[in-house]
Amino acid sequence: MRTITSTFRLGAIGRVGQLLIMGCLMFNTACSDNAEPAPDPSPATDSYRADVAVTWLNMQLKLARTTPVTTANVFGRPFAYAGIVGYEAVVPGMAGYRSLAGQLNGLAGMPATDKSQVYNWPLSANAALAAISRTMFANASPANLATMDSLEAANKTAYQASLAPEVVSRSIDFGKKVAGAVFEWSKTDGYDNPAVYTPPTGPGMWVPTPPAFGPPIFPFWGSNRPLVAGSGDGADPGPPLAYSTTLGSPFQLMVKEVLDIAQARTAEQTAIALFWNDVPNGRSFTPPGHWVSILAQVLSRENAPLDKAVLAYAKLGMYMNDATISCLKAKYTYNLLRPVSYIRSAMGQPTWSPLIPTPGHPEYSAGHATVSSSAAEALTEVFGPSYAFTDQNYAQFGLGSRSYTSFEQAAAEAGISRLYGGIHYRPSIEKGLVQGKKVGQTINAKLVFK
């Protein structure tokens, strides 16, 4: 059993011989038209450890926990664009790998490197991830902004040792340009839709839920531009069970299971529900943030190379982003009421409340299940189908750790945690697990990384 932790070793980077290939260039000043192009003189991305990526993953997790939610930083959106930025900032140093420009939905005109010049890819990644983090969390506290400045400076100091000043500036400039291009593209994804939404009414339709009884949140998110065109094709879960208050009907029995579990919940079920609660309140991550934390832990435990880290982060962020769009599209297509609403109004329990708060959006499909199964698909593609690990995500907050034999097993537990918490029906979870996996598989089929 592997045990993974969220700590990392920044460590100074060893001296890399940058003149190994450059000498060859001196002999090409009078090349013929048929001569082979000069090889890239920059050390390859996989010659560096993932430390720079892990430091920014952990920084972004802190931001997700402590920054007020806005349309710009909700639902894992920052992680998606940060993953793309990290990948694009170093992919020129990944032999055989392709840029995502021209493959992602509307992303074009990305900056290019000068293949005759030396770049330091960790410096490029550091500058790029710092820039995108500041823009995605533009409302971060002054303390967090200062921490980002300190982290960027520390990483720069670690990686610039022994490098010529022009290599340092060239690498940083490229990273900043990548972040700028991706950020400009991100502005047009529909995240800030100002339209007013009036939810439908009628039997079985969603109504505001306690304790806040607030309006529906982000009702137009399902219309956002996906990162990969067509990523949600074939993923819609189909209509939920027909609504009924008749005793013994399939719908009534489905809700009864939620109430029965709540009335006889085991200690293990309670622990699972709380471990995957993921409400960003300073002590918990968002659901996408939980999976980013798992990735950070895996990368640290594996002492992974930088190329593997950015590939994993790009896949993870994109899969979760587009799975969220697919999920919210389903939620506001079917507008199914939540368990607490049915239990209070139709089962004679007017004061009943679930173990964990019910989010302010419709029931079907289940968000945790959809996002988690897409995340598991991404990480499985990179690390394999039988990667056993222990998630120490919330040990720092007194919730202990949990062990899994695969990412898919963890996703299944994340999904069922919402039944144990009293906020989702079992079919919503089962359909969500299929939905998220389908989104991930579609993205994998559409994109060519190598």
Sign of CA dihedral 113, 119, 125, 126: negative
Cβ-proximal residues to 288 (8 Å cutoff; 6+ apart), any chain: 75, 76, 79, 317, 320, 324, 371, 375
| Secondary structure (DSSP) of 298-329 | HHHHHT-BHHHHHHHHHHHHHHHHHHHHHHHH
- Pinpoint the residues of the chain covered by CATH 1.20.144.10: 37-186
For residues 245 and 177, give the distance between their C-alpha atoms in angstroms, rounded to a whole number: 58
For residues 264 and 180, give the distance between their C-alpha atoms in angstroms, rounded to a whole number: 53
For residue 390, give the 3-state DSSP assignment: strand
For residues 206 and 195, give the distance between their C-alpha atoms in angstroms, rounded to a whole number: 19
CB–CB of 273/417 below 8 Å?
yes
> Which tens digits make up the pLDDT trace of 420-440?
999 999 999 999 999 999 999
Q: Count CB atoms within 10 A of the CB of residue 396.
A: 9
Name which of 89, 431, 269 is nearest 260 in CA terms: 269
Tell me what pLDDT residue 282 has: 66
Best CATH choice for the domain 37-186 from the list 1.10.1740.10, 3.50.50.60, 1.20.144.10, 1.10.540.10: 1.20.144.10
> What are phi and psi for residue 343, nearest 5 degrees?
-60, -40
pTM value is 0.91
In this structure, the dihedral spanned by the alpha carbons of residues 296, 371, 392 and 309, taken in order and rounded to 10 degrees, is -10
Tokens of 311: 């590939």
- Under CATH, to which class is 221-446 assigned? mainly alpha
Tell me what pLDDT residue 38 has: 53
CB–CB of 101/110 below 8 Å?
yes
Tell me what pLDDT residue 215 has: 94
Tell me, what DSSP letter sits at residue 15? P
* Helices (runs of H) and strands (runs of E) counted in the chain: 14, 2
Tokens 């001569």 appear where? Answer: 35
Tell me what pLDDT residue 20 has: 33
First to last CA, the chain: 30
Length of the chain: 450
Q: How far is CA 440 from CA 189, 227, 319, 378, 426, in A?
A: 19, 12, 5, 7, 22
- Pinpoint the residues of the chain covered by CATH 1.10.606.20: 221-446
Tell me what pLDDT residue 12 has: 36
Chunked into runs of 10 residues, the chain (450 residues) has average pLDDT values of 42 36 34 50 96 98 93 96 98 98 96 97 98 97 98 97 96 98 98 95 97 95 98 98 98 98 98 91 83 97 97 98 98 98 97 96 98 98 98 88 98 98 98 98 98
For residues 168 and 150, give the distance between their C-alpha atoms in angstroms, rounded to a whole number: 18
> What are phi and psi for residue 62, nearest 5 degrees?
-60, -40
Tell me what pLDDT residue 13 has: 38
